[in-house]
A and B are shown apart, each in its own frame.
Chain A
């Protein structure tokens, strides 16, 4: 158990809808990262937050947004969903924002778009 908690484990919805994925980092970790894992693209970095502030951004679509709250949990919001958004979404956390601090992953949320 990595200590990173993601809910829900599985989400089924339809095209055009909006969903929110939730992540609680390990106790004491200030950085949260979101990744998308799909069969064709593999694991890809979406966005990083550190202590409530956006720190780095990857190839995140404009339809996607995230935030980190004062209690350090984070939410990833996906809107106007398309079939191609079906994937596993992982959250990871690390102690700080330095690159020498490893990232620990949760077990993901499986998003299925019908």
Chain B
């Protein structure tokens, strides 16, 4: 079983919909949680960065971390066709250097 699990999708939604992306993890030592967006033939682009549990909002994006359930989410409001990409969750513990452990990614398609 992988340390970080993520539904690969694809997830197809109409433009303007609210998108919910999720990851579960098994390592309770993870303290830092990130969401990256990756377009085809491009590198991962950092979207959200959170420490420990709670919510963080940035524009149309909201990241939630529930450490008790080992579950993190990314919500995208008013989704746009330009949001179509693969979304990767990533996590880090204090005791593994700065090694990021990634989920497998969820492919999102927003249809006009």
Contact = CB atoms under 8 A, between A and B. Distances in A.
Interface of A: 2, 4, 31, 33, 35, 42-45, 48, 55-56, 58, 90, 94, 97-108
B43 A107 contact: yes
Contacts, number: 65
Interface of B is mostly: strand
A11 B103 CA distance: 26
A97 B46 CA distance: 17
A6 to B, nearest CB: 8
A98 B49 CA distance: 14
A106 B97 CA distance: 20
Contacts of B103: 42
A51 to B, nearest CB: 13
A56 B43 contact: no
Given A99-B32, A99-B92, A100-B51, A45 B43 contact: no
